[in-house]
């Protein structure tokens, strides 16, 4: 078909068709076909069906709004795309016990990283609930809810032996999500052509004196890439923690730069 793979992502293919770029990214067994002309998209679908759809035709979703991996992806407004996870998050909240009712205005307090070692461990039932809800929130945090990444990052460190103090932090997160369930992640391009990365670190905030790194990338509106993670080495000062944080994010910055440059076709 004449498509060329992006050398920095073997799941992304490009081709110039009628003077406009045709891009096809793969995700497991799904494809997203993007071209200015619907006719060209249909031609590729027909060609793929001729090869792989002999027993059963591939299903296709058209239009500006799509449901995918628990997300509603909306391209209705020019120059931006909105991601929401209302239905997915609503199902999570339905699992939450009565003592998690209500709402909160932030996903965590300033005491998020403080661990009370004297707090009793959760029983098996609550520990299983803690593990399950944390894993589900991790899925949401890495897709349409980067605002909960810091809280989820901490909770993921506590799933092996959660205690009552950890449960209170999970309850806080549940209440925050309930109050912000309709908030979308909005990604947009500001036409400057710039990609801006921000990286920060918090020194020695973990119980083992490890520091914490946070990073995000924007093309003008919204965090297209973001992360929140415990640093792997122990630092001796805030300055060292900042340098380690920069090192943590440099690989992402370099890859993003090379991937985007490789996407530009003449």
What distance in Å separates the CA atoms of residue 20 and residue 265, rounded to the nearest whole number?
9
Please enumerate in sequence order all residues whose Cβ is within 8 A of that of 107, keeping only pairs 6 or more positions apart, or say none: 147, 148, 150, 151, 172, 173, 176, 177
Q: How far apart are the first and last CA of the chain?
A: 18
* pLDDT value for 246: 95
Q: Chain centroid to CA 252: how far?
A: 14
* pLDDT value for 60: 87
For every one of its 266 residues, what pLDDT tens digit does the chain have, with 9 covering 90 and above?
Answer: 889 999 999 999 999 999 999 999 999 989 999 999 999 999 999 999 998 888 888 888 888 999 999 999 999 998 899 999 999 999 889 989 999 999 999 999 999 999 999 999 999 999 999 999 999 999 999 999 999 999 999 999 999 999 999 999 999 999 999 999 999 999 998 888 889 999 999 999 999 999 999 999 999 999 999 999 999 999 999 999 999 999 999 999 999 999 999 998 76
What distance in Å separates the CA atoms of residue 121 and residue 196, rounded to the nearest whole number?
43
CB 244 within 8 A of CB 257: no
Domain boundaries of the chain, sorted by first residue = 4-62, 86-179, 193-263
Backbone angles phi, psi at 50, to 5 degrees: -65, -30
* pLDDT value for 266: 63
Q: Which of 56-63's residues contact partners 24+ apart within 8 Å by CB, and which partners?
A: none
Point out which residues pair with 67 in neighbouring strands: 72
| Secondary structure class of 24 (helix, strand, coil) | strand
Report the residue count for the chain: 266
| Cα–Cα separations (whole angstroms), residue 221 to 65, 115, 149 | 20, 35, 18
Backbone angles phi, psi at 53, to 5 degrees: -110, 30
pTM: 0.87
């Amino acid at each position: 078909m004449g498509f060329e793979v992006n050398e920095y992502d073997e799941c992304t293919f490009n081709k110039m068709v009628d003077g406009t770029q045709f891009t096809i990214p793969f995700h497991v067994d799904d494809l997203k076909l993007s071209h200015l002309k619907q006719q060209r998209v249909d031609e590729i679908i027909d060609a793929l069906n001729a090869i792989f759809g002999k027993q059963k035709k591939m299903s296709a979703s058209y239009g500006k709004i799509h449901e995918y991996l628990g997300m509603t992806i909306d391209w209705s407004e020019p120059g931006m795309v909105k991601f929401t996870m209302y239905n997915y998050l609503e199902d999570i909240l339905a699992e939450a016990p009565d003592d998690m009712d209500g709402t909160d205005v932030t996903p965590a307090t300033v005491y998020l990283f403080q661990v009370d070692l004297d707090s009793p461990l959760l029983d098996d039932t609550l520990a299983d609930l803690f593990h399950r809800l944390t894993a589900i929130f991790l899925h949401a945090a890495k897709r349409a809810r980067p605002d909960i990444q810091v809280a989820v990052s901490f909770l993921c460190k506590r799933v092996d032996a959660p205690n009552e103090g950890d449960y209170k932090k999970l309850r806080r997160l549940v209440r925050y999500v309930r109050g912000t369930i309709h908030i979308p992640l909005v990604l947009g391009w500001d036409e400057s052509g710039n990609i801006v990365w921000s990286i920060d670190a918090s020194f020695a905030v973990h119980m083992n004196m490890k520091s914490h790194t946070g990073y995000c990338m924007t093309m003008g509106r919204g965090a297209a890439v973001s992360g929140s993670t415990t640093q792997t080495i122990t630092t001796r000062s805030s300055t060292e923690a900042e340098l380690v944080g920069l090192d943590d994010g440099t690989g992402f910055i370099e890859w993003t730069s090379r991937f985007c440059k490789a996407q530009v076709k003449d």
